[in-house]
Amino acid sequence: MNLLKTKSTLTLLLLVILHATSYSQEFIEIGSIQESMHLAKKSILVEDKDGAYSLNDIINEKYEASHIKEVHNDIPYIDFTSSTYWMKIPVQNSSSTAVKYYIEVARPLTNKVNLIVLDEFNKPVQEFKTGDDFQFNQRPLKHKNFVFPVEFQANSKYKLVVQATSDGEILKLPVKLWQIEAFTQFTTIENFFLGLYYGLFLLVIVFFTFFGIALRQRLYVYFVTYVFFLGLFQLSLDGLAYQYLWPQLPWLGNHAILILAAVSLLSMLLYVRKFLEFADEHRTYNKIYSIFIGLTILGLALSFSSGTPYAITFPFLNGLSFIVVFYFLYGIVLRAKSGQKTEFPIVMAFIFLCLGAIFFILSNVNIINNEFLAANALKVGSAIEVTFLSIAMASRYRQTQVEKIEAQQKAFEALEEVNKLKNEQTERLEKLVAERTQEIVEKNDILSSQNHEIINSINYAKRLQDAILPSEKSMKQLFKDSFVIYKPKDIVSGDFYWIEEMDDNLFFAVADCTGHGVPGAMVSVLGNNSLNRCINEFKLRDPAEILDKLTELIENTLNKNATSVSDGMDITLCVWDKKSKLQFAGANNPLYLIRNGELIETKGDKQPIGKFFKREPFTTHEFELKAGDSISLFSDGYADQFGGPKGKKLKYASFKNYLLELNDKDSNSIKSELSERFEAWKRELEQIDDVCIMHVKF
């Protein structure tokens, strides 16, 4: 038992000794440095997965030993992570003067970067909080990287504590001390080369945008789109997009790198597919290609998310981009095997893009320990890629122009041949035209003579039709306060109105015959004569009986031989006893009665005069008239007229409103106003049907 206690005590002492020796750090002398100095290699690096550690925990080394990460390089590489990492670096200024430096920490895409400078008593003397989660103007130094101005007093010791957090991106934690003048010179040189790099992108975008506008080809749209978003992606990767394009938008500063990576990859996929135009025989290749497009769109959607989905999008898009570039090269090989030659600049573009991506990835994961390659391999590869792609696009443009010239030459030769044939044809045609012209002149003379005779006949028919219509004078004698609006669509009309006096009764009607023009006029004459027969020959006085007989007469007249004719008419027929009794019957047409400012509509039977599949006897409606009552009989030509601001039908609702509005005026005023409103509604449009309205006030 004592032996076990002794062993436990020795083990505990050994762990304490190991702990003390493992985490002891030597102070780094910074009193005098040459331009710059990396400090990360001599730091203690602690992973804080849950964000549980505080500054005091780091200062007093109250953290799990398993959370300590070994640092072997000047730029520690953490891989894709969502953890917080702490770095503690002891430094001292042994010189007799205070020194001022810039401290560059982390890389531009880090979400949170805090720097705390502690004195030898572990009291904070300077503290900086920044990162992509903060607006750009909150940075202590307005630079694309996280740079902090720090002053170290003479003969003093300090501890630098760095706290960095990522939301799933690769985390790299350089801690570099810069002389201010050296940093300024380095930034000037860096900005010069960045200007050349992004100037190349801008030149390509402007140049090939004009090509695209001139040629109107989708290929140039895809190319310019790809170069544009690739340039924006690099701007975001360098921290310049956040500095100059959206400095007040931290959310976009965080998400832009993934969004632009996905959009640039998608535009590259569309551009390459259009440029290479993979043949139909490579269907499997094309299907997989479409899957890559779908995965890219998925990555784009995830880049707008947060939390775990957002964190896994970083390795997802990185891996997908790497695979896609090699898949392009595989596609070029497939084309070569099938005899489809791919332009040399295209091959070189993707080879250099692959090399740039490979060196970029290998140097970023510290397989190749080279700071320049880590920062610039992708830039160099993409710059060479864009250059070769521009050469390929220029070659394609030149090829297009050559093809156009050749096509124009062939078209010119074909045009000459066509002109030759055309001249020969013209000579033959001129001869034929002269002959045909003479024939046409002779036929036109004949047609003109015939047309003149037809017009004269129609005009004579109009005089005959007008002769059978009641005159305005006779109507005024029968109805003191009344009017008729009669507007034929053509010279003669298919509408007619009819008035007869018999046995102290006034019979009056408005009818709309099938069709208009000459056919309608012929039916109207038949209808007029048949109505006269009904009251004179057959001595009918009831309007329903008159319509029944009218139907019989019309059908018998139009169907005397084997030929079946379905022509007929719609009609409103009234019988007035000259006192207060008014009877009405209608075939499809209603009667409007206006009394005390109210319009009362009485509908006729739903059947025409003429042939009908299910004939029923007509119905007589009887009214007791009062002083001031007025009635309107009409065809459908007024309400069905197209016009107005939208070219629509006037409709019966508007017609009713007109009658109500104008009812208090005398008949002449109502007639004039209705005619004016009809013409105003019709405007420049053609009249579509005959118009006939009879209005009587009692």
Residue 363's pLDDT band, with cuts at 50, 70 and 90, is: low
Q: Give the pLDDT of residue 366.
A: 59
Q: CA-to-CA distance for 105 and 427, rounded, in angstroms? A: 89
Of 182-191, 278-287, 621-630, the poorest mean pLDDT is in: 278-287
Q: CA-to-CA distance for 351 and 559, rounded, in angstroms? A: 91
Of 66-80, 120-134, 366-380, the poorest mean pLDDT is in: 366-380
In terms of Cα–Cα distance, which of 180, 201, 39 is closest to 117? 39
Q: CA-to-CA distance for 512 and 524, rounded, in angstroms? A: 8
Q: Give the pLDDT of residue 633.
A: 96
Residue 2's pLDDT band, with cuts at 50, 70 and 90, is: very low
In terms of Cα–Cα distance, which of 191, 194, 190, 180 is closest to 36? 180
The per-residue pLDDT of the chain, averaged, comes to 84
Better pLDDT: 401 or 328:
328
**Cα-based angle 259, 223, 191 (whole degrees, multiple of 5):** 65
| Total residue count of the chain as it appears in this document | 698
Residue 386's pLDDT band, with cuts at 50, 70 and 90, is: confident
Instruction: Name the β-bridge partners of 117.
Output: 126, 160
pLDDT at 375 over 70: no
Residue 15's pLDDT band, with cuts at 50, 70 and 90, is: very low
pLDDT at 173 over 90: no
Residues whose CB is less than 8 angstroms from the CB of residue 81 and which lie 6 or more positions away in sequence, other chains included: 166, 168, 170, 171
Which residues in 260-311 belong to E strands, given as ranges? none
pLDDT at 232 over 60: yes
pLDDT at 7 over 50: no
Q: CA-to-CA distance for 628 and 630, rounded, in angstroms? A: 6
Better pLDDT: 21 or 678:
678
How large a percentage of the chain has pLDDT more than 70? 91
pLDDT at 8 over 50: no
User: What Å distances lie between residue 148 and 99, 156, 184, 444, CA to CA?
Assistant: 14, 19, 13, 99
CATH code of the domain made up of 465-697: 3.60.40.10
Q: Which helix (H) or strand (E) holds 104?
A: strand 99-105
Q: CA-to-CA distance for 285 and 271, rounded, in angstroms? A: 16
Phi first, then psi: give them for residue 26, nearest 5 degrees. -85, 145
Show contacts of 192-201: CB within 8 Å, 24+ apart.
194/238, 194/240, 197/234, 197/379, 197/383, 198/231, 198/234, 198/235, 200/383, 200/386, 200/387, 201/227, 201/228, 201/230, 201/231, 201/234, 201/386
Which residues in 503-544 belong to E strands, given as ranges? 505-513
Residues whose CB is less than 8 angstroms from the CB of residue 181 and which lie 6 or more positions away in sequence, other chains included: none
Residue 640 corresponds to which tokens in the numbers above? Answer: 């069905």
pLDDT in tens, 18-51: 343 445 578 888 888 888 899 888 889 999 988 8
The mean pLDDT value for 400-404 works out to 75
Q: Report which residue type is found at 147.
A: V
Better pLDDT: 558 or 644:
644
Better pLDDT: 254 or 622:
622
Better pLDDT: 342 or 579:
579
User: Domain coordinates of the chain in residue numbers?
Assistant: 25-186, 195-406, 465-697
How large is the greatest C-alpha to C-alpha distance in the chain, in angstroms?
149
Of 255-269, 419-433, 652-666, the poorest mean pLDDT is in: 419-433
Q: Give the pLDDT of residue 490.
A: 85
Q: What share of the chain is helix, strand, coil (3-state, %, to 5)?
A: 50, 20, 25
End-to-end CA distance of the chain: 135
The mean pLDDT value for 43-60 works out to 89
Q: Give the pLDDT of residue 9.
A: 44
CATH code of the domain made up of 25-186: 2.60.40.2380
pLDDT at 571 over 50: yes
Q: Give the pLDDT of residue 153.
A: 92
Q: Give the pLDDT of residue 530.
A: 92
Highest mean pLDDT out of 80-89, 312-321, 357-366, 377-386? 80-89
Q: Give the pLDDT of residue 361.
A: 65
Q: Give the pLDDT of residue 51.
A: 84
pLDDT at 381 over 80: no
Better pLDDT: 564 or 110:
110
